[in-house]
Structure 1
């Protein structure tokens, strides 16, 4: 096992239960585990020694919701002025052409962006499996994560309710329940590691109430619990979803989940914008978690999650960037800033502070993923997952008054100097250690262009050239 010594930091922001800070402190890790943190540590050498003078050390951020494959469909003009349902219907026509090599390329880009923004653990929700393509798409994401060195929590998504059965997605990106459950078992048995400091954990994740059947929900819950893995899905994201559930199912989305066994300490939902007071009480009682995705919710015009009410009720809340097609980025540190600003606007400037938002992205996210024993804070016995920011750069001048809030409120480039996962340096001087960034960008752009061209041939729409209506001619 290798050893790591970070010494003489400007500050170490632990985000532990007491939110302790260690100005001028040091940290020592053996293998993945932190064995000492604080001042005057009895260690002078290590396999990796980092002089952190002038730098601030933070616990690694944890992303609780993403769709990595969507990195190939960012900034498409044709879908820039649409809400969720229309946006999905359009993009399904592009995603139906995905191949395994595309998934690898998109994962390198998305996970790389996350690492460069201080994220050390990422959950992903992959649910789009085109007809005639190998089911082993998530394997390509896991391969990319292993090469980059990020802690990874892929969830095996699924859609079984195609348009021919009254659902939203085209039948061409849906699968039978038999295929879904069989591949979910394969992924869990092949990759899931429930052990301490695991680098890969696997979850089960039917997509949403408007793309799955009640049978699939129940069968997925049974499968997940038989293996002891966690469960994830979209819920309460839009008013359209509410209407769909009321019209097609005769109940609200959370009631549909409760009826089919999808509540409990092993369940987390993405978005949660339209939970009412009664439902927030149910979330707390069932100990469900929620992934907050503020940038995506703002871009899609979906609404504002009742974050303050949830926190006051004791609901577990983490942070997520959501799919890059609804965010156009995978920058989790920027997501912390957006969450802070959004809820200042929505709830007033005294409702939630910058450090509170950092806590949501660290300790809060770890609780949502059921991983709080290993990650989420810098403490003895936890993983050496962290990032460093040089406080001497121009963007922080005049701002060095609160080191915990510093990267949330200032330094808007949001690229960290160094990221470490399990004691291993994976970003150094702002660059990925495990990938050629330029080569990865070229490969992903080529895959994106192929997808767009395939869709244009099939639908007679040029997605790359189509522009949204020019509403203000004088601009």
Structure 2
């Protein structure tokens, strides 16, 4: 893959165990691996040389929860101003029309947006498999990730408990347990990489307690552990979910999942807002992780994540942007900033500083994905995954006093200047290098419009009307 030299940086924010900031630093990588980092490294030439004068270099951000297909259903008026179950009910009628080319187009846009905001590793939870459509939909996401050059952690999601059997999703987007297990095995065997610097790792991810059968939960846990891959699901996102579990199973969501093998250091949950103190302590003892998704949680009025209690109990916490339709954007820097501001508001001025928010999106997220031996910080022996911002921008004037805090405190009104994944430049001057952005945007908008129109024709619903207007 060649060598990389990043030299003369204003600073390198390492996010290592000491949170070192190396003023005037340089970095050298051979292939994907950082070989040297510091102010006086013994390398002057490389296959690729980046003059980082005026730049701050940061470790690549890591997204621990996303639904890339939802990129095509952002800003749908009827899906605004409602809570999770109602929001899902509206969008399921649109998602049931997804085709393989839509999955690819949505992934290109969603992953491209992440790269342009400093994200170098993205996990995705893909769970919507419409009946009559090819089951090999995850392959389209993985193809898009390879073209863009992002490190990718897709999780093979699933829904098998449709409305006819008491679940939340319509039967038209559910599969049988056997179909799910068969395709999950295929995806793991074809794509999962166990190498430390693998560009693709695969997880197993039934959607949620209200959309899968008990048998599928047990079989998925056994399957994941037989292959040595990690496990992911939504949990404790809303009080509606809690009531559903109490009414249907007689227990709270975490106890239900624990009964089916879904507690352990190989498990991470998305959201985790409504865990009580005993549950948080149990998760800490078992080494569970949680993907904290502040923007989505605020938009859907789901609640405020108990960050401080989680961290005190030893629960591993990272950041996720969640589905683009419950965020309407995919900015990882924006998500880190949102976590910083939310917990200032909810827990007081000393709750989470800017470096701590950056830490959630780097070291914290790497730990959640079980990948902290290779990503999450800039150190010798770790992956050359990083992003850079030019401090000579107008919006940073008067703010150059704390380099680690800069993008979190000030926010980013434009894309980062450069993103590098595994030693390869994938964003340069704020533009993706692997695709033609305008063509990708046009294709994705065409997919979005077709989905919207097909759903409108089938249901007779005007999705352009806001929910608040429709209620009047």
The two structures have a TM-score, normalised by structure 1, of 0.98
Q: Partner of 1:341 in structure 2?
A: 341
For 2:304 and 2:468, locate their aligned partners in 1 and report how far apart those are by CA, in whole Å: 26
Deviation, structure 1 residue 411: 4.2
1:6-62 CA-to-partner distances (Å, cap 9, x unmatched) read: 011000000001101100010000000000000111111101101101000000000
**Alpha carbon RMSD of aligned pairs, Å?**
1.0
Q: How do 1:262-273 and structure 2 match up within 5 A? A: 262-273=262-273
TM superposition shift of 1:414: 4.6
Distance in 2 (CA, whole Å) between partners of 1:58 and 1:356 is 14
2:6 aligned with 1:24: no
Query: Which residue in 1 is equivalent to 2:98?
Result: 98
> Is the counterpart of residue 172 in structure 1 residue 172 in structure 2?
yes
Residue segments in structure 1 that go unaligned for 5+ positions in a row: none
| Cα displacement (A) at 1:378 | 0.2
1:444 and 2:441 aligned: no
1:470, 1:188 → 2: CA distance? 45
> Superposition pairs for residues 79-90 of structure 1, below 5 Å?
79-90=79-90
CA distance in 2, matches of 1:271, 1:388: 29
Q: Distance in 1 between matches of 2:297 and 2:216?
A: 27
> How far off its partner does 1:245 sit?
0.3
Q: Give the match's secondary structure for 1:130.
A: coil
CA distance in 2 between counterparts of 1:434 and 1:94 reads: 30
Deviation at 1:79, TM superposition (A): 1.0
Q: Deviation string for 1:421-447 (max 9, x for gaps)?
A: 000000000000001110000000000
8 Å CA contact 1:407, 1:414 repeated in 2: no
1:469 & 1:383 partners in 2: Cα distance?
48
Question: Is 1:331 paired with 2:322?
Answer: no
Instruction: Tell me how far apart the structure 2 counterparts of residues 228 and 89 of structure 1 sit (CA, whole Å).
Output: 34
Q: Is the 8 A contact 2:6 2:51 kept in 1?
A: yes
Once the two structures are TM-superposed, the CA of residue 397 in structure 1 deviates from its matched residue by 0.6
* Cα separation, 1, equivalents of 2:435 and 2:300: 32
Superposition map of 1:181-192 within 5 A: 181-192=181-192
In 1, the alpha carbon distance for the partners of 2:204 and 2:411 equals 37
Q: What SS class does the counterpart of residue 123 from structure 2 fall into? A: strand
In the alignment, the residues of structure 2 paired with residue 324 and residue 360 of structure 1 have an alpha-carbon distance, to the nearest angstrom, of 20
Q: Secondary structure at the match of 1:469?
A: helix
Q: Does 1:198 align with 2:191?
A: no
| 1:91 counterpart SS class | helix
Contact 1:395 1:411 survives alignment (8 Å): no
Cα 1:355–1:414 change in 2 (3 A) is: farther
CA 1:134–1:470 in structure 2 vs 1: closer, same or farther (change >3 Å)? closer
Secondary structure, aligned partner of 1:325: helix
Give the Cα–Cα distance (whole angstroms) in 2 for the partners of residues 436 and 460 of structure 1: 36
Q: What is the aligned length?
A: 471
| Alignment of 1:466 onto 2:457 | no
**What is residue 71 of structure 2 aligned with on the other side?**
71
Aligned positions of 1:28-177 closer than 5 A: 28-177=28-177
Please name the residue that 1:405 is paired with. 405
Matches within 5 A, 1:357-436: 357-436=357-436
Unaligned segments of structure 2, at least 5 residues: none
State the SS of the aligned residue for 1:22: strand
Assess if the C-alpha contact under 8 Å between 2:114 and 2:332 holds in 1.
Answer: yes
1:245-275, CA deviations, whole angstroms, 9 ceiling, x for partnerless residues?
0000100000011100001110000000001
Alpha-carbon deviation of 1:217? 0.4
**Separation of aligned partners in 2, 1:312 and 1:54:** 38
Residue correspondence of structure 1 range 203-282 to structure 2 within 5 A: 203-282=203-282
Matched, 1:289 2:293: no
Q: State the Cα deviation string for residues 74-122 of structure 1 (Å, max 9, x = none).
A: 0000111111000101100000000000000000000000000000000
The 3-state SS of whatever aligns with 1:426 is strand
Residue pairs, 1:309-328, within 5 angstroms: 309-328=309-328
- Is the Cα contact below 8 Å between 2:285 and 2:314 reproduced in 1? no
Q: State the Cα distance separating 1:213 from its structure 2 match.
A: 1.1
Residue aligned with 2:108, SS: helix
8 Å contact from structure 2 (residues 296, 326) kept in 1 = yes
CA contact (8 A) 1:336 1:408 kept: yes
Q: Is the 8 A contact 2:333 2:412 kept in 1?
A: no
Q: Give, in whole Å, the separation in 1 of the partners of 2:354 and 2:462.
A: 42
Query: Could you tell me how far 1:412 is from its partner in structure 2?
Result: 2.9
Structure 1 residue runs of 4+, over 4 Å off? none
Deviations 1:135-187 (A, max 9, x none): 11100000000000000000000001000100000001000000000000000
